[in-house]
């Protein structure tokens, strides 16, 4: 178990030693580090202490100043130990962050170990609750991520994509920004699946997800739209930028799929692109529909190509 460490800030040498003796009699020798001023306390690594006791009146400040100094650096609990037997002062100390207030009257020295024990217990409970809260937040975030992600490919699923699509479209329309949608389909996937088996078919989808993710910016969104079809959203990107990204994805997937299938020829992609300003979509789904129409044109044009929608005409990018 980590040894207990307590910091006592008291400018009266005799009082400081009396408190030290009382505390170390209860918690063990070497438990206490004693200083006589706010400046000396500031030189200490206050975060390394389990608890701090400070006098109210110090030669270079007040206990309130110490509270502010400590709270700016860590969450170590601070107990005010002072001769200021004033209710308003005690209330203000608690408001400023003191966890307790001990008045130097009567046999106050005998009460200090009890007060320390109580505050250490409370601090432990607070730490445990905070740790539990963080664990719950992490688990909830993981569950949300799992619920939004396609388990096979690692990109988002279609349900989550629908929510993000509405959000990104609304932002682009509101601030007059560009937004590109890219639809991707693996050419001849069903035949490949039948020829090589479902396991290899799944591996092809995994490779597609990895290639797509590797060629996207942090702000971009990729989702598995269904089967062997993927959809991308590229905020603040027009058709030209989207076509460049699509070209990289198409070429890298061709090479990666060839390696997977252990043959010279890889699997090709048909891709369709549309952007908000280029097609004038009046709602989010319409933007995706334009990209889907461009994808259909790629399929009709012989596959293995990128088509850009210009609503209503569609221009084919050069095939590989």
pLDDT in tens, 68-118: 999 999 999 999 988 877 778 888 888 989 999 999 888 899 999 999 999
pLDDT in tens, 226-280: 999 999 999 999 999 999 999 999 999 999 999 999 999 999 999 999 999 999 8
The domain spans of the chain are: 6-132, 158-316
Output the pTM of the full model: 0.64
Q: Check: CB of residue 303 under 8 Å from CB of residue 250.
A: no
* The architecture CATH gives domain 6-132: 3-Layer(aba) Sandwich (3.40)
| Cα 187 from Cα 257, distance rounded (Å) | 12
Topology (CATH level 3) of domain 158-316: Alpha-Beta Plaits (3.30.70)
User: Is 156 in a helix, a strand, or coil?
Assistant: strand
- Return the sign of the alpha-carbon dihedral for residues 115, 116, 117, 118: positive
pLDDT in tens, 177-198: 999 999 999 999 999 999 999 9
Residue 1: pLDDT band with limits 50, 70, 90: low
Of 11, 55, 51, 54, the C-alpha closest to 31 is: 51
Give Cα separations from 230 to 27, 178, 179, 295 (angstroms): 64, 20, 17, 11
By residue count, the chain amounts to 320
Which CB contacts under 8 angstroms, 24+ apart, belong to 62-70?
A: 63/9, 63/93, 63/98, 64/92, 64/93, 64/96, 65/38, 66/9, 66/38, 66/41, 67/93, 67/96, 67/97, 67/98, 68/96, 69/38, 69/41, 69/42, 70/46, 70/97
Average pLDDT for the chain? 92
């Amino acid at each position: 178990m980590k040894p207990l460490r307590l910091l006592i800030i008291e400018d009266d040498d005799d009082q400081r030693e009396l408190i030290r003796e009382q505390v170390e009699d209860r918690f063990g020798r070497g438990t206490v580090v004693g200083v006589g001023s706010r400046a000396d306390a500031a030189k200490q690594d206050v975060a390394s202490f389990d608890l701090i006791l400070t006098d109210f009146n110090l030669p270079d400040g007040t206990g309130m100043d110490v509270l502010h100094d400590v709270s700016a650096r860590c969450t170590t609990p601070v107990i005010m130990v002072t001769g200021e037997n004033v209710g308003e002062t005690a209330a203000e100390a608690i408001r400023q962050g003191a966890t307790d207030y001990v008045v130097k009257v009567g046999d106050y020295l005998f009460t200090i170990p009890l007060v320390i024990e109580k505050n250490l217990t409370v601090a432990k409970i607070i730490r445990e609750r905070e740790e539990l809260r963080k664990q719950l937040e992490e688990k909830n975030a993981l569950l949300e991520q799992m619920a939004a992600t396609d388990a096979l490919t690692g990109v988002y699923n279609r349900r989550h994509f629908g929510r993000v699509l509405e959000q990104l479209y609304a932002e682009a329309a509101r601030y007059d920004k560009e937004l590109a949608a890219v639809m991707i389909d693996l050419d001849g996937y069903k035949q490949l699946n039948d020829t090589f088996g479902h396991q290899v078919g799944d591996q092809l989808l995994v490779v597609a997800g990895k290639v797509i993710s590797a060629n996207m910016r942090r702000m971009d969104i990729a989702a598995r739209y269904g089967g062997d079809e993927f959809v991308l959203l590229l905020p603040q990107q027009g058709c030209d930028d989207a076509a460049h990204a699509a070209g990289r994805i198409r070429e890298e997937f061709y090479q990666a799929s060839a390696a997977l299938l252990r043959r010279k020829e890889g699997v090709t992609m048909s891709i369709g692109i549309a952007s908000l300003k280029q097609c004038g979509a009046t709602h989010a789904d319409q933007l995706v529909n334009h990209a889907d129409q461009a994808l259909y044109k790629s399929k009709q044009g012989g596959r293995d190509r990128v088509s850009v929608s210009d609503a209503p005409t569609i221009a084919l990018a050069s095939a590989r």
